Structure 1
Amino acid sequence: MLVTVTGGKVGSASDNSAIMLATAPGACNQITASAQFVVNEVTTTATVYALSQFLDASGGYGASSTNAKGLANAVATIANLVNLTTGASPGVGFPATGGSPATKINTVANLLNTCTTANSSCNQLFSATASAAGSAPTTTFGAAFNLTRNPGGNVAALYAQAAASTAFSPALTKAPADWTLFINYTGGGMNAPGALGVDSSGNVWVASYFGAASEFSPTGSPVFANGITGGGLCNSYGLAIDSSNNVWITSEQAASPPCADSVVEINSSGQFASGTKGYTSGGLNYPVAIAMDPNSTAWVIDYGNSHVTLLNSTGQPTSGTSGYTSTDFVFPVAVAIDANHNAWVANSGSTTVTEVSPDGKQFTNVSCCGSPFGLVFDESGNLWVSNFFGDSISEISSSGTVVSSGYTGGALNHPQGMAVDGAGNVWVANYRGPSITELASATSSSPGKILSPAAGFSPDASLLEAFAIAVDASGNLWVTNFGSNTLTEIVGLAAPVKTPLLGPPQAP
């Protein structure tokens, strides 16, 4: 339920039709007659950030019938960001392992407060939060909505206006890099976190290089305080989630603790489904990446011998005793599955990506890139490739034509992990840069156009060796920081995606 209040006046001020504040206290059938909640600028800020992908500037609100879970998790995020009873940030259930974003929430709330308490300040607010199309909002709610949808716009001017109000504290003491709202989480046993994925409930799973798997709730609380260890987990770089929410993680051989080259399967309850050592058949040799086909086939990249191994839903190899290989493979490091069940492999030691048929009989090489490290498909079948040493992103059409050998800008710096959201926009984790980069979709008027600021988004979020990035069904971005053992959530910035990711992404 979304509750809004409009109009009225504050103190001795005159009536102000620009006031529109909001909160979302939960589902209607869960609210008792005696329930009390506050509606103020802080609840409005938290509501608009968390529900950004389910709102419009007028307060219209809703989700598709197939994304009830994404909407429910977004509402839960509001209660994570603000105490709905007191109207103060953060919420009572905010994880002790998270870094509270209260100072930024309070700053945006102070910005809105300048308008709610003085009609004369509203035009300044509305002008600074006009949409990219030039349409200015007419309410405080609309201004907050536009700010969350264009977090890189007029940052200094908006901060200066916010500083004129001290209604909510603590607040930022200087202008932020942008208005993205981020939270850094620790705990859950993370130890050099790398690959990650989101299951159908919105839980975030992380594979750490040093032998641990971590699960976080949709609001960032670690499900297992110390993570999941054993079961053959060692030197893990890859993770994928199947349609039953089983988590598949690659593990390289290691002497201490003794581990074999394997793929470890963990069920949704956190129990090992692959025995004490994981699945070891099929020619696995330093497996570094894994992707899940909608038909429940797992494609595994074997970096050690430049092979790919296919495993069925029970972990048995379907690609023979040694997997598939080709002379086209040159230090393969990543894999993505297209709509026709072909796998595409990134060859980090060359300028190519290679398409592999499901039976391993056809290999098609495409020269496109510069040391490709990451791959992701969009819903239209276009392949996007991160060029680690080229600081660029390549695009290959669904027909195999190279559209661009490298889009640059937007603070791309050794790009690695990528994700495509429900609108087809591409999100990039910069391993050697402190921010993430957004590129326009292949169906936009300017495919590959950098949509993020020159410094990228969230350059003040303490991102360190950002390894992987994923979009959930609420529109949140999740980023693993290999260098700081943290997981970063950027709230409501991307168009929602159906989870888990099976083949090309889909809108939920």
Structure 2
Amino acid sequence: MEVRRMRGRHACLFVAALALLFAITSMGAQAVEDRNRYHASWLPISPATEVIEGAVKNQRFPLAGYRVSLYANFTIAGGFQRKLATAVSKPDGSFRLHYRLPPGLIATMPPVLLLVAERGLVTLATVVSGSEVPPQLVINERTTVATATAFAQFIHGRQLRGNHVGMQNAVKMVANMADPVSGRPSDVVRQTPNGVETSTFATFNALSNVVAACVASGEHCEQLFAATSPAGAPPADNVLQALANLTRNPSYPLYPQDSADPIFMLSLAAPLYQPALEQRPTNWLLFIKFTGGKYSTQDRFNLMNGPGNIAFDAEGSAWILNNYIPKATNQNACASQRLLRFYPWGETYKGSPYYGGGLSGAGFGITLDPRGNVWVGNFGFESPACADGTVPPDPENKIPATHNSVSLFHKSGRPISRSNGFTRGNIWWPQGTVSDREGNIWVANCGNDTVTMIRSGNPLLAKNFLLPGANPDLQPTESPSLKPFAIAIDRRGRAWITGNKSERLYRIDQRGNVEEVDTGGAELSWPMGISSDSKGNMWISNSDAVNVPCVDPLDPQSGGNPSIVFMPADGGAPLQVFGQGGLSIPWGNAVDGSDTLWVFNFGHTPFEDVQADTVWPDTGVSRFCGSGDCPPGLSVGDPISPDTGYTSDALERITGGGIDPSGNLWLLNNWKKIGPFVYDTNPGSNSFVIVPGAATPVKTPLIGVPRHFP
């Protein structure tokens, strides 16, 4: 039947149906074309209109004529961005934005709201969570640096895209650097333990001055874009992307020649923000220090003393074990009985620290199991005077360390194990404590050269395995021969264990088959940490210096030739790298979501003839190309960090660290860097450091091999 012959209601319905079909077809085509940007254009809109007022201004004057755009960045459906409102800043820099948000997502998965102010080549920005929008905001150079740094792994051009956990946590990390309401530096970076005590605040101001130079001159913007465009990648075309690139690639060659670093030269062009760097840094990362309060001095009122290792839960909260009871530097520090927990932005978690469960001087062993519960190995760190009872009883710990248990805590922080911990399985001076995907808990018993497997996390099913070369008749007071230290799990669920004293590598499968692994010519030298990458390859840190104080006292070795070893999962030839990338007593290590290796350095050698007031050089973090995509011209094992490493005066002697869902690098200042390499009294440091946006995000908790968290 022809359309022209239809009459009345039927013709109208037919025409309407055709129109609807055409509209649906057109919408479908457009959705396919623009799905990344408008994937959820179907979302309902709130009838209520919200308002954001603010100003675009820097330290000295308002910035007029900037086009301010408000974007909602959603993390559902693979991530997409939606523009909500635009305005132009007035002569006094002020702006006013009216916007609406889909109401159903605010409570469950609120978007990240990105405000971008643009004029010519200049891009300034700030972010807030869609669930907590302040009525007033300031956009300036400092908020731009904070946003670009915290969201470095999520910035794609002018869009933010990434996992919900990491994106939401990054909003809080921005506030650690710049207050979105005032645009001023936050108390976290401006005051103790940061402020004038480390170079972090000065580095933050120097980066803010780089943006100020761009505001002052388009030529400076072009220089910034050129300096931060990685080889083989699309060139940066806005300030936000340029600074994100700088965080992901923070070093330039030929250090310390200032002329070889265009970022440092740009920081001198418009020095609005002070104090700022007066000399070129080894890198442009921001090392934000945390002690649990606004203090640096060590005393019995501190939160931590000797943080040793770290594990992250599904929300990105950090669980950190603690070696010693907080004490002043010149006092004997006995075994700690506290477990620490921090929000993903470094603030102490409500209710932390947690006590009980048999905690006793935990060393390097901490893990989360598949149920989200936390396991801790009670190594029993304490100064010698605590062990022999010559120190007066401490209110927190009135007995010497026990050395023979692991503790279990519910994800709420409530202890599950009893006051003596779980002791079955011949646990003795436990170090590495790791869960596999099946929930089996593996414990490296440094004191008796064995490994304990707590099958399915049931302490009644604990089994003990003697490592090759161990003495089955070893007495509890005798020095062990192997000193198993750290554990990593491969893709087949097998546990790989470093032998610190034996300088060997071991492997145990879930059936209990134990073997020594042939390192194929690679030489292990007082090895410490070990990590798997996503493919099951193993990375080993060779300290060349640390004979772990395990039953017997600390016995420092000569050091001077540290290295890392790459063990391919396919059984290919291992690769060993000596002394590059800033390696300096490498202790722990971690692999990020792109299979890049990060190595945590304990410090410098030699140890002999060091005075009590000797200040060691700044400690660094080392970064190496892994089995994933490498920068152009590099291959597996090549250093990405400079010969100095990524150094900072916020760092001391680092043992452990890790990478969270935002791509933040967490580093634990375990021992002080001042004075000799001894532990007769209190060697512990009282802080950890977060480096925002430095690494590719990892899905947490880390159980088995690391998984990228896009």
Taking structure 2 as the reference length, the TM-score comes to: 0.65
Q: Does 1:325 align with 2:325?
A: no
> Is contact 1:287–1:303 with CA below 8 Å preserved after alignment?
yes
**CA positional deviation for 1:224:** 5.8
Q: State the shift of 1:410 in Å.
A: 0.8
Give 2:289's aligned amino acid: N
- Cα offsets for 1:469-501 (capped at 9, x unmatched): 100010001011111221011110000001111
In 1, Cα distance between the equivalents of 2:353 and 2:192?
Answer: 14
Which residue number in structure 2 is paired with residue 85 of structure 1?
Answer: 181
CA distance in 2, matches of 1:346, 1:419: 15
Deviation at 1:398, TM superposition (A): 0.8
In structure 2, the partner of 1:165 is 270
Which residue does the alignment assign to 1:371? 526
2:314 is matched with which residue?
A: 200
Q: Is residue 440 from structure 1 mapped to residue 625 from structure 2 by the alignment? A: yes
In structure 2, the partner of 1:482 is 670
Q: Which amino acid aligns with 2:165?
A: K
The structural deviation recorded for 1:247 is: 1.6
Higher alpha-carbon Rg:
2
Give the Cα–Cα distance (whole angstroms) in 2 for the partners of residues 346 and 379 of structure 1.
19
State the 1:86 CA deviation.
Answer: 1.2
| Aligned-partner SS, 1:213 | strand
User: Which secondary structure does the structure 1 equivalent of 2:339 belong to?
Assistant: strand
Which of residues 402, 406, 410 in structure 2 aligns to 1:267? 410
1:416-431 → structure 2 map (5 Å cutoff): 416-431=587-602
How many angstroms apart in 2 are the aligned matches of 1:393 and 1:10? 57
Distance in 1 separating the partners of 2:86 and 2:244:
16
Structure 1 partner of 2:508:
356
The reply on whether 1:72 has 2:168 as its aligned counterpart is yes
Give the equivalent residue in structure 1 for 2:440.
297
Shift of 1:317: 4.6
Relative distance call for 1:471 and 1:226 in structure 2 (3 A) is: closer
* Residues 277, 45 of structure 1: alpha-carbon distance in 2 compared, 3 angstrom cutoff: same
Matched residue SS, 2:128: coil
State the distance in 2 between where 1:226 and 1:77 align. Answer: 20
Residue 411 of structure 1: aligned partner: 582
Matching residue of 1:248? 375
Distance between the aligned counterparts of 2:533 and 2:400, measured in 1? 39
Question: How far apart, in 2, do the equivalents of 1:361 and 1:279 lie?
Answer: 24
Deviations 1:172-223 (A, max 9, x none): 3433332101111113721111111111111111111121321111111112
> Which digits, 9 at most, give the CA deviation of each residue in 1:349-380, with x for residues without a partner?
23421111112134242234222211100001
Q: Determine if the alignment matches structure 1 residue 184 to structure 2 residue 289.
A: yes
Name which of 148, 151, 170 aligns with 2:250: 151
SS in 2 for 1:143: helix
Aligned mates of 2:457, 2:635 — CA distance in 1: 44
Counterpart amino acid of 2:466?
A: T
Over 3 Å counting, the alpha-carbon distance change for 1:10 and 1:407 in structure 2 is: farther
User: How many Å apart are 1:6 and its aligned residue?
Assistant: 11
* Residue 469 of structure 1 pairs with residue 574 of structure 2: no
Conserved 8 A contact 1:309-1:317 = no
- Calculate the TM-score normalised by the size of structure 1: 0.90
CA deviation after TM superposition for structure 1 residue 61, in Å: 1.4
Counterpart AA for 1:79: A
- What does residue 276 of structure 1 align with? 419
Q: Distance in 2 between matches of 1:419 and 1:448?
A: 14
Distance 1:327 1:208, change over 3 A: same
8 Å Cα contact 1:479/1:487 also seen in 2: yes
Measure, in 2, the Cα distance between the counterparts of 1:463 and 1:165: 29
Structure 2, unaligned runs of 5 or more: 1-71, 74-82, 93-117, 293-301, 325-335, 381-386, 390-397, 471-481, 545-560, 605-618, 672-684
In the other structure, the counterpart of 2:137 is: 37
Counterpart amino acid of residue 294 in structure 1: R
- 3-state secondary structure, aligned to 2:652: coil
Q: Which residue of 2 aligns with 1:384?
A: 539
Which residue is equivalent to 2:279?
174
For the residues of structure 1 that align with 2:88 and 2:276, how far apart are their CA atoms?
26
What is the SS of the residue equivalent to 2:138? coil
Relative to structure 1, the CA distance from residue 19 to residue 228 in structure 2 (aligned partners, 3 Å threshold; closer, same or farther) is same
Q: Distance in 2 between matches of 1:407 and 1:16?
A: 49
SS in 2 for 1:336: strand
For residues 208-247 of structure 1, the aligned pairs below 5 Å read: 208-210=322-324, 211=336, 212-223=338-349, 227-237=353-363, 238-247=365-374
Looking at structure 1, the residues matched to 263 and 639 of structure 2 have their Cα atoms a distance apart, in angstroms, of 23
Structure 2: distance between partners of 1:345 and 1:469:
18
Relative to structure 1, is the Cα distance of residues 286 and 173 closer, same or farther in structure 2, using a 3 angstrom cutoff?
A: same
Matched, 1:110 2:209: yes
Are the equivalent residues in 1 in contact too, given 2:370–2:438 (CA < 8 A)? no
Pair 1:107–1:234, CA change in 2 (3 A): same
Q: What letter is aligned with 2:563? A: S
1:452 maps to amino acid: S
What displacement does 1:397 show? 0.9
Deviation at residue 136 of structure 1 after TM alignment: 4.4
Map Cα deviations across residues 209-251 of structure 1 (whole Å, 9 max, x no partner): 1213211111111126873344322221111122333221111
- Which secondary structure does the structure 2 equivalent of 1:25 belong to? strand
Is the 1:55–1:62 contact (alpha carbons within 8 Å) kept by the matching residues of 2? Answer: yes
Cα gap change, 1:185/1:306 in structure 2, threshold over 3 Å: closer, same or farther?
A: same
- Aligned residue for 1:81, secondary structure, equals coil
Q: Distance in 2 between matches of 1:5 and 1:186?
A: 41
Match of 2:701 among 471, 496, 500: 500
Give SS of 1:240's match. strand
Percent identity between the aligned chains?
Answer: 30
Q: Matched residues in 2 for 1:430 and 1:7: separation?
A: 49
Aligned equivalents of 1:402, 1:234: Cα separation in 2? 41
* Equivalent residue, structure 2, for 1:452: 641
